[in-house]
């Protein structure tokens, strides 16, 4: 029996699909957040964050940051990995499955 290597992850394609679905993803991942201009402002679920404000996601680019902790990332895959406390590859696979990216 021959071993088939796993399919290569197309991070660029997965990020593009995730960026187009970002408002829906953010309302699922950070349901207590709100839109302020082109940013989603929410409490950081990875720490004891009492008020929204320091955790922000740019809805145009997918870049995100928690300005209270200096945690940050440059795309939606890194945000998904951060929020789920997983690696980038696992987050990318999960997003690809969720969004139907093949």
pLDDT tens for 10-36 read 999 999 999 999 999 999 999 999 999
Dig out the tokens for 74 from the structure.
């440059």
pLDDT tens for residues 53-84? Answer: 899 999 999 999 999 998 999 999 999 999 99
Structural domains for the chain? 11-99 (3.90.580.10)
């Amino acid at each position: 029996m021959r071993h088939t290597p796993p399919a290569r992850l197309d991070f660029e394609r997965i990020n593009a699909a995730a960026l187009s679905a970002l408002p829906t993803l953010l309302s699922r991942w950070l349901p207590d957040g709100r839109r302020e201009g082109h940013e989603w402002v929410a409490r950081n679920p990875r720490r004891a964050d009492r008020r929204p404000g320091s955790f922000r996601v740019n809805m145009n680019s997918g870049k995100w940051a928690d300005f209270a902790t200096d945690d940050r990332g440059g795309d939606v895959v890194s945000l998904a990995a951060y929020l789920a406390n997983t690696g980038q590859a696992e987050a990318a696979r999960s997003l690809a499955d969720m969004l139907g990216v093949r």
